[in-house]
Amino acid sequence: MRFKLIGATAMVALLASGSAFAQQSGNLTIWSWNIAASALKSTLEGFNKQYPDIKVTVEDLGNQQVFDKMLAACAAGGEGLPDIVSVENFEAEIFWSRFPDCFANLKDLGYTAEIQAKFPDFKRTELEVGDVAYAMPWDSGPVAVFYRRDFYEKAGVDPSSIKTWDDFIAAGKKISAANPGVVMAQADFNGDSEWFRMISNEQGCGYFSTDGQTITINQPACVATLEKVKQMKDAGTLTAAIWDEKIQANTAGKAASQMYGGWYEGTIRSGSPDLAGKWGVYMMPSLTADGPHAANLGGSSLAIAANSENKEAAWTYINYALGTNEGQVTMLKSFGLVPSLLTAVQDPFVNEPLPYWHDQKVWADILSTLPKIVPSRGTAFQTDADSIYRAAQTKYFAGGYPDAKAALDDAANQIATATGLPIAK
């Protein structure tokens, strides 16, 4: 970043008007993945109208590649990092704890308390350590069920009647019977813990306590969650599929539902454009009819590499993309990235009926769950805990434990050994 040389009086006037920042220049590179990368690209036209001399290149590397390359680069003292990186909230504390000097403190670049207050606390918890703000909140992932209206209607299933996971199982049997070759929903049982994390978060449970100090994966709500996921798998309600297979099933008309964070709206809309009007959204079921119906899955942030030579220009871009309604709503409209910025959530677009979704006010429905979401910590030990859980889940599904409690007790003990944290009583 540099300022073009101008007279002192002119500089003062420009600063007063806020247009001095348009004099910034520099070349920025961002690492991101999939729809998130596409969403960032969608902001560049509006950004360059204000900052024509800052050139931004977004590289779509894939989620796992970004994580792996960041770990390797930070281990090498930051060598090879781009100016800006996308960081999933759930994995963020891994980086801050292992490599506290790898990323810039955004407070040194203009991330004031006033700007911080524009974001909900549950999004900032994993991004800040003491007086250091390592990243700025981007999107959140309020969970919803995305469903094929035509498949449900053919089976005589009203999604508003699906209040519990048992209702979901019963509906799945009817839908598959009425639509041969169509599965109710899909889950990545081998490579991910998505369904367990969504439902356990709904029930107020997770791998760790909200303060990150104890292991809670074997608490009753988590046990009930694992039992229910196995019931859905055994009933054929959930069948195994990885990310790409789910997208293929959506387009081919082989899946009646997919459950994910709200950001999946953009995945369906951009991946299956010919199915406009056939999709809808409803809130996730619960363990009981009067139970909670809200959870979060995913959600990311943007961080600036400490060794970037363009930190000021990088901050200017981040603050535009994530800290303004224009930037956030552009990404919501184009690729369904759910804003964390509180003023953007209130944008009139949120209440508009969307043609792709059969004129349903999808964002009003999805975002109505945000205030009900229980915070869930990833902590610095997320990778260890998640891999231990997935191994226990696989063994439990194969009959290797007498029940879900035994499976999660074993997982809790392994996590305790790996992390040194105590198991909550």
The pLDDT assigned to 411 comes to 98
Q: What is the pLDDT of residue 6?
A: 34
Which range is least confidently modeled, 313-317, 332-336, 376-380? Answer: 376-380
Determine the Cα–Cα distance for residues 208 and 197; give it in Å rounded to an integer: 11
Residue 321: pLDDT above 90?
A: yes
Q: pLDDT-based confidence at 8, cuts 50/70/90?
A: very low
Confidence of residue 23 (pLDDT cuts 50, 70, 90): low
Looking at per-residue confidence, does 408 or 351 come out higher? 408
pLDDT at 368 over 90: no
Chain-centre distance for alpha carbon 204: 18
Look up the pTM and report it: 0.83
Residue 24's pLDDT is 85
Residue 21 has pLDDT above 70, yes or no: no
CA nearest to 69, candidates 28, 32, 27: 32
- pLDDT value for 22: 54
Cα–Cα distance list, 280 to 146, 160, 251 (Å) = 6, 11, 15
Q: Are strands 300-304 and 136-137 parallel, antiparallel or unpaired?
A: antiparallel
Residue 286 has pLDDT above 80, yes or no: yes
Which CATH architecture best describes the domain 143-295+359-419?
A: 3-Layer(aba) Sandwich (3.40)
Label residues 191-203 b or e (16+ Cβ within 10 Å = b): eebbbbbbbbbbb
Q: Out of 105-109, 244-248, 337-341, 417-421, which region has the weakest mean confidence (pLDDT)? A: 337-341
> Is pLDDT above 80 for 1?
no
pLDDT tens digits for 62-103?
Answer: 889 999 999 999 999 999 999 999 999 888 999 999 999 999
Region 320-344: mean pLDDT is: 93
Identify the H or E element spanning 136: strand 136-137
SS3 43: coil
CB-based contact 50:25 (threshold 8 Å): no
Assigned CATH topology for domain 8-140+298-346: D-Maltodextrin-Binding Protein; domain 2 (3.40.190)
Query: Residue 13: its pLDDT value, please?
Result: 35
Residue 37, token pair as written in the block:
């990368």
pLDDT higher than 50, residue 3? no
Domain with CATH 3.40.190.10 in the chain: 8-140+298-346, 143-295+359-419
Q: What is the mean pLDDT of residues 13-33?
A: 68
Q: Sign of the CA dihedral 125, 129, 131, 137?
A: negative
Per-residue pLDDT at 190 = 86
Average pLDDT over residues 364-392: 89
Amino acid 10: pLDDT: 36
- C-alpha to C-alpha distances, 336 to 183, 267, 350, nearest whole angstrom: 25, 8, 11
Nearest residue to 208 via CA among 200, 216, 199: 216
Q: Residue 48 pLDDT > 70, yes or no? A: yes
The stretch 107-111 carries a mean pLDDT of 96
- Best-predicted range by mean pLDDT among 17-26, 43-52, 343-352? 43-52
- The mean pLDDT of the chain is 92
Find where tokens 């839908």 sit: 175
Which residues contact residue 273 at a Cβ distance below 8 angstroms, ignoring those fewer than 6 apart? none
- Four-CA torsion 90, 344, 327, 359, nearest 10 degrees: 100
Q: Is residue 241 over pLDDT 90?
A: yes
Give SS3 for 269.
helix
Is the Cβ–Cβ distance between 202 and 292 less than 8 Å?
yes
Tell me how far apart the alpha carbons of residues 376 and 396 are, in angstroms, rounded to a whole number: 24
Estimate the crossing angle of helix 220-234 against helix 382-397, to 10 degrees. Answer: 50
| Rg (the chain; Cα; Å) | 22
Average pLDDT over residues 259-285: 95
Which range has the worst mean pLDDT, 220-229, 235-244, 337-346?
337-346
Percent of the chain whose predicted confidence (pLDDT) is above 90: 80
